[in-house]
Structure 1
Amino acid sequence: MSDGDTRRNQRLVEMFEQSGLTQGELARRITTMARQQGLRHVTPDATNIRRWLQGGQPREPLPGILADVFSNAFGRRVTTYDLGFGASPDLDRPLHYSPSFRETVESVTELGRADMDRRKFLAASPFVAAAGIGPSRDWLLSTLEQEPEPGPRVRLEDVTSVRNMFGQFQEMDVMQGGGSGRLLLTEYMNQHVYPLLRRTHTEAVRRALCAAAAEQTYLLGWMAFDNGEHGTAQRYLIQALRLAEESQDSALGAHVLAGMADQATLLGNPAEGRRLAQAGRQGLRKASSYACLSDLWALEARALAVLGEAKDAARAVARSEAAFSRVVREEEPEWAKFIDGAYLHGEHANAFRDLRQAENSAEHARRSIAYAKTQNRARRGALSHAVLAVSHLQRGDLEAAHATGVRTVELASRVKSSRSVEAVQDVQRRMVPFGRHQLVADFNERARALVAA
């Protein structure tokens, strides 16, 4: 056990003081925890504790064991980063789909803390195009067996409380954009949800808890996605998929794969987006959610359109509409609430836009706008107005495109959504062939004001 330098480890000191433990008591708890993990050679004493407090660096696996001891003492997850060991959290770990439930809990907890404490650092993390291949395959196999961690038993009432919060956060995202409530949801997950995963449960409660945690972790990923933080979003989505597998909720896992497919296509990987959507549909064979099935077909259509597969894309749109016609809203899960006419027609409009089928694109965009208007959904309205503006440009009607584009800017200004701003910028780019026309200049000025705001 290395003494390291003599600079005081202030983070460890603060945790130690908050715990109320003596140095001897902490050493004994570390020894007990190590033995539970089969590490009988780990037997620190009070002298070791004092050295670590003074800045010494404990050797592996002691930092992780210390984090486990303090987590049990506080009833919430404490990471090695929280204890001052390591310059930063491991941001690559959440890209891995671990066969260990414990490792999954560690990954998603560390990701959540990094999202709170190191947001700028995390936002710079890259999207990794191939990272979805293994998770989608392993989710389909669904052969992993895990055991819960020791600790106070979680009750079904605790899970119900988590699920009740989900609807509120999802509504916040739908109505105000992903940038509005994500900080609140991250804090809620760190303080109330992820710590529950480390405690003991009956099997039924454990599955329900994993489902609830997966729903909210997916929502964190979706909010980051909407806010343009794609590396962060990808990490949350992969861990949400792993939690969904643990819950044995096939429809929920398929829903997470839909989000991964959407992101892959948006970031220029339509072949991967199509494959992820197909994996989700295969997983739905053991579950029933026509809303999710409709979404997966819509996202496959988006991917096919980008790939230029016009006939297959149109066929996928038709299958999406057929699946949606069978939706019984009362029988769908809470997370499927957003998969409605406003959303689906908007996605179909995007597919036909990419195929340069302006009439079909405009028809679906107008349907989406009508639904969004009745629900006062500014983000969806902005996205679909942008597609309608592009359909006007594809027909050479700059005046109609300008009027629709102005409405896009107005709606985008009401929400905190990078996707809405990017939709405005897409209209800008597509106006370039019209040169220095006065309407183009006016729209560019409005778009600059939106971006500046």
Structure 2
Amino acid sequence: MKTPNDDLAEWLERSGLSRGELARRVRTKALQWRQPHISPDTTRVRCWLAGEMPRHPVPGILADVFSEHFGYRVTPYDLGLGDGANGDAALVYNSSYAATVEVVADLGRADVDRRTLLAAAPFAATAGVGPSRDWLLNTLEQQPAPAQRVRLEDVTAVRNMFTTFQRMDIFQGGGSGRLLLAEYMSRHVYPLLRRTHTEEVRRALCEATAEQTYLLGWMAYDNGEHGTAQRYLIQSLRLAQESGNAALGAHVLAGMADQATLLGNPAEGRRLAQSGRQGLAKATSPACLADLWCLEARALALLGDKSAAAHAVAQSESAQERVRLEEEPEWAAFIDDAYLHGEHANTFRDLGDPDSAEEHARLSIEAAGRQGRARRGAMSQAALSVAHLQRQDLEAAYATGLRMLSLTGRVKSSRCVEAVQDVQQRMRPFGRHRLVADFNERARSVVAAA
């Protein structure tokens, strides 16, 4: 026997709407969501009140109806229509902008209020196929528009906060300020998507929100929350398309490519990076292009294609030579010598070329040291330590590993911890050597603290 939905009944009573009027509004809203097959009547509303669970996307449409009526955000969770904390809807690249607004708002709400359940959401290995295809097709079909920056107060405020949170991520690690950013987005930014009135404002706000949503995804990725990260990245890609900013969409695809490769799917990582490069035909960002070639090289190395990986590294370096920071967007600030050389070091590490890996690792370490970037420094020290191990030089690997541990202890980043564990794994062939034992003992406290 079904349990009556008291939450939905309470909201309906508070609204003053009849069951027939609610059904009519749901039909109207369903048309806006491009779901004409959803056409409930009074009987169906009675069934919902009696405890019947409507199928997706009806809970989101009902939430939208009540939100519009009351003038503030009401979620399916509030209406007793499911938690939605697994964020499966956020894996969908929806053609409807209205549906996208609801999905990203619900995702932010779940991240803040029901984070434990959302954290259990799995990473879907092939979920990026459809979104990257749809983004690319829509991006290539868009007509070029005049370059015009909208400097509205609310959009400017969002972008100013992006700068703050991006620096927090770069210098302290993704786990440091992620929940604070999620709270800010859920309470202050995502609601703005429902309040814009002109096309100019809407596009500008979508661009700023896409940047922040990407950063949320990236910080979750760096913190080891891969299911959450994937959902934010897909919705960021959709918002980037809505803004018409092809370079931003390509940047999001770079993040998706990085994650796919890290999680053991380099073929998917390569395809996502290639989609991003194709989309850049509509925009100019040498920094983003350098990043996409760099990430394609990482994927190719894991696929064992040495010549193609070396070619991709060369293309990345060529693009980097054309970068002019003052002409690049704020989100590209991290794509510099410290980052690119660090990733190239990982590429050559995976190719089994310790000499090239060491060369790039040292350049990255030097640049990261000048900037005080502990996370990047730690990861590049890890690449250098592995290069030493590939030459069977345990003493040099140990000394480098200690510097890595020191830097890792200064940030909150699961990627740094994974780099430590990778070095530990690669030291195992040296058996019970005293340096291995000492390194493992020191690493244990760093990993435990993380």
TM-score, shorter chain, exceeding 0.5: yes
Answer whether contact 1:81 1:89 (CA < 8 A) is retained.
no
Structure-1 residue corresponding to 2:3: 5
Structure-1 residue corresponding to 2:336: 340
Deviates more, 1:119-128 or 1:433-442: 119-128
- One-letter identity of the residue aligned with 1:86: G
Distance change in 2, residues 1:127/1:449 (3 Å) = same
2:173 to 166, 172, 177: 177
Answer whether contact 2:5 2:80 (CA < 8 A) is retained.
no
1:24 to 16, 20, 33: 16
Paired with 2:218 and 2:59, the residues of 1 have a C-alpha distance of 32
Structure-1 residue corresponding to 2:105: 109
Paired with 2:357 and 2:54, the residues of 1 have a C-alpha distance of 60
Structure-2 residue corresponding to 1:256: 252
Answer whether contact 1:140 1:279 (CA < 8 A) is retained.
yes
Structure-2 residue corresponding to 1:406: 402
Q: Does 1:79 align with 2:111?
A: no
SS at match of 1:201: coil
Matches within 5 A, 1:33-432: 33-34=25-26, 36-37=28-29, 52=49, 63-72=59-68, 75-89=71-85, 91-142=87-138, 156-432=152-428
SS at match of 1:441: helix
Deviation at 1:78, TM superposition (A): 2.2
| Stretches of structure 2 lacking an aligned partner (at least 5 in a row) | 142-149
Deviation at 1:201, TM superposition (A): 2.6
Deviation at 1:118, TM superposition (A): 2.1
Deviates more, 1:125-134 or 1:351-360: 125-134
Answer whether contact 1:31 1:43 (CA < 8 A) is retained.
yes
- One-letter identity of the residue aligned with 2:300: L
Deviation at 1:202, TM superposition (A): 1.4
Deviation at 1:5, TM superposition (A): 2.9
Distance change in 2, residues 1:275/1:29 (3 Å) = same
Structure-1 residue corresponding to 2:144: none
- One-letter identity of the residue aligned with 2:438: D
Answer whether contact 2:345 2:360 (CA < 8 A) is retained.
yes
Deviation at 1:28, TM superposition (A): 8.9
Per-residue CA deviation, residues 53-94 of structure 1 (Å, 9 max, x unaligned), is xx8558678744542244235644321112222244452211
Equivalent residues, number: 434
Paired with 2:138 and 2:352, the residues of 1 have a C-alpha distance of 40
Per-residue CA deviation, residues 314-369 of structure 1 (Å, 9 max, x unaligned), is 11111111101111110000100010110000000000000111011011101101
Distance change in 2, residues 1:65/1:392 (3 Å) = closer
Paired with 2:403 and 2:385, the residues of 1 have a C-alpha distance of 10
- One-letter identity of the residue aligned with 1:242: R
SS at match of 1:126: coil
Distance change in 2, residues 1:144/1:388 (3 Å) = closer
Distance change in 2, residues 1:196/1:343 (3 Å) = same
Answer whether contact 1:30 1:65 (CA < 8 A) is retained.
no
- One-letter identity of the residue aligned with 1:336: A
Paired with 2:226 and 2:108, the residues of 1 have a C-alpha distance of 15
Answer whether contact 2:385 2:396 (CA < 8 A) is retained.
yes
Answer whether contact 1:392 1:401 (CA < 8 A) is retained.
yes
Answer whether contact 2:131 2:234 (CA < 8 A) is retained.
yes
Answer whether contact 1:221 1:233 (CA < 8 A) is retained.
yes
Answer whether contact 2:85 2:118 (CA < 8 A) is retained.
no
Paired with 1:375 and 1:176, the residues of 2 have a C-alpha distance of 13
Paired with 2:279 and 2:242, the residues of 1 have a C-alpha distance of 14
Deviation at 1:230, TM superposition (A): 1.0
Answer whether contact 1:264 1:272 (CA < 8 A) is retained.
yes
Structure-2 residue corresponding to 1:439: 435
Q: How much identity, in percent, do the aligned residues show?
A: 66
| Stretches of structure 1 lacking an aligned partner (at least 5 in a row) | 146-153
Paired with 2:128 and 2:40, the residues of 1 have a C-alpha distance of 37
Distance change in 2, residues 1:103/1:327 (3 Å) = same
Deviates more, 1:111-120 or 1:417-426: 111-120
Per-residue CA deviation, residues 283-326 of structure 1 (Å, 9 max, x unaligned), is 10110000000001110111111111111111111111110111
- One-letter identity of the residue aligned with 1:288: T
Answer whether contact 1:342 1:370 (CA < 8 A) is retained.
yes
Deviation at 1:132, TM superposition (A): 1.0
SS at match of 1:142: helix
Deviation at 1:99, TM superposition (A): 1.0
Paired with 2:140 and 2:105, the residues of 1 have a C-alpha distance of 20
Answer whether contact 2:223 2:413 (CA < 8 A) is retained.
yes
SS at match of 1:268: coil
TM superposition score normalised by structure 2: 0.89
Answer whether contact 2:60 2:102 (CA < 8 A) is retained.
no
- One-letter identity of the residue aligned with 2:256: M
Paired with 2:235 and 2:228, the residues of 1 have a C-alpha distance of 11
Deviates more, 1:72-81 or 1:132-141: 72-81
Deviation at 1:36, TM superposition (A): 3.8
